[in-house]
A and B are shown apart, each in its own frame.
Chain A
Amino acid sequence: MTRYRKPLTSLVGACTTSLVLLAIYLFLLAPLLVVVLMAFNTSSYMVFPPEGFTLKWFVAFFRDSMFVEALRTSAVLGVTSAAVATVIGVPAALALVRYRFRGREFLNSLFLAPILFPGVVLAIALLVYYSRLKILGSFIGLVLAHVLVIVPYVIRTVSANLYGVDEALEEASLNLGAGRWRTFFEITLPLIRSGMVSGAIFAFIMSFDELVIALFLSGARMTTLPVRIFNFLEYNSDPTIAAISTVLLCVTLLVSVFVPPRYLGF
């Protein structure tokens, strides 16, 4: 008897779990679905259910030079910030994980501080600082600010990866005659590539949709997409915004489809 009861209860348990998970996913994903549907809606207001099919909101988005310019700015900003953050983050992670030195703990918490800092506070601080330095509203200013926020995430993902790489591998490489740099490029780098790529993608996405800091630091000539959307929403409510959201959604999905899962650390 008992033999049969156990699988049965576990089956019921598994079904319940699946149903609950499904419900949670639906709850989270339903708004996204509604937004996508509204992007193709003929009505000039964000109404649901849709009244007819059209692509005019997408056309409106790509015709609006301010949106296109903002999209370009955000893309370039995201790629630049992610690249800079990776170039800084990998050696930092290497130093924090592999070397014992005085002040290591302090440096470790210093690198993580931006994660704990409220974005608004950081934004205000940078605003004051940048206006002194006269780089307010400049591209370089935005890159620096974003790098500050995303570098901890790169360090985190790369460190997690580095802890999993046996130090003896690097020693073996040294022992076989490779110098420190050669060892880094031949052994360490290939083995932390997945952490590095996922860190960089994460960094790109975070920079790409960062609003608060960009709102404070971008100027009239340097507007990112999230800031542009935010400003647009103040005065308009037509489904152009839904079309933009759909485009962003597609970009994100494409990134996750074209980057093999192993690079994302799954």
Chain B
Amino acid sequence: MGNDNEIIDNIANKEYEFGFVTDIEMDILPAGLNEDTIRYISEKKKEPEWLLEWRLKGFQAFRKQKLPEWQNFTLPSIDFQKISYYAAPRNKKKYNSLDEVDPELLATFEKLGIPLSEQKALAGVAVDAVFDSISVATTYKEKLKELGIIFCSFGEAVQEHPELVKKYVGSVVPYSDNIFAALNAAVFSDGSFVYIPKGVRCPMELSTYFRINTENTGQFERTLIIADEGSYVSYLEGCTAPMRDENQLHAAVVELIAMGNAEIKYSTVQNWYPGDKDGKGGIYNFVTKRGICKGDNAKISWTQVETGSAITWKYPSVILQGDNSTGEFYSVAVTRNKQIADTGTKMHHIGRNTRSRIISKGISAGEGQNSYRGLVQIGPKADEARNFTQCDSLLIGDRCGAHTFPYIESKNNSATVEHEATTSKIGEDQIFYLNARGIDSEKAVALIINGYVREVLNQLPMEFAVEAQKLLSITLEGSVG
């Protein structure tokens, strides 16, 4: 790539061309990454000294690391010095009304059935009026407060709850973990913070109601979720609406901590811009997500629906430290046109009688390449540990590809590891059979896809599952024919 400046210039020009009212922040940092950049960011955010130190350590680690080479695709070379690390995180285009928004985008919103007020917020229409949903959000915020639940931006948490942040940040994904995690530690912009106190069951899906509030927090997002003993939380990240972003590289970090008897459900729908038909301009999504079941009987469950991005590279993992703890990974990853997805999970069984369950469903269409990469690691003390992995691939057309890379490392003979894999193709015969019953080809494919991914979508909260289902059919529209 190496033309980020050009991209930014382009966008600036475009904004001018269309006469957008853009309130550009005064302090755009020039491209480049060095210690001063980091000090600048930290100061801008009025961060305490320890956090600056931590960022700097992250930067040191970043400098020592190389781009990974084990992936099943050619990683485009990334010139980290050509990225601006404080380039106006809020410089999203603002429109005056929906009329100015790309009609194609609106058509997609329409198909997804997203309410008008949310459409406006998502498309970035400046609205002065307070939406209903925002007041809904405020009401819920009050309720959460009563229960002692902390749900705020990462930046806010640093100011309001520094002791919690200090204790847990980097405790699951250390700044030295990998090059993208290190980069994130050094320059992270903002993100979310959740703390659920002991014994509290969070009464709502976090983030659904706040969807329109959570503005894009930029390319280096950081999320930290702590579920104290015996608590429960379900967290939703992302949304089904198409997300466009000027930043090509996204390197987020998510850390989950579940204490004894606690449960965290983390669901993601990722629909970043995948680039045009030739794969140009799409987003590189390099995310590090990891959770730890710290106490006994803890449970962490990742569910993801990945339809966007030019390249997706992520392996939500669980460290099963507490005895009897459970890790789950449910994934649907779609690639079409020239999209690449290299995704999967890692389950590290450390405690006794720990369980993990992996259900991965890849769908490839066009020239899309889909890789599942999974590691199941059983430690010497993980007596009676059990893993079940089901890894399915569905191909649409014959120019796409599916690959699976399951790795198993077991140091305990009492462990059971099961792996099942299937590859299937949507056949002309299947389509014709459905055609012959009055169902057109598009619907036929949607029907087959929905059947195929049901096991994963069932893990999502109802409303979200319906949206995700629509998203999948829209994504694959025109793939068969």
Bound pair: A and B?
Answer: no
Q: Which residues of B contact A (CB under 8 A)?
A: none
Q: Which residues of A contact B (CB under 8 A)?
A: none
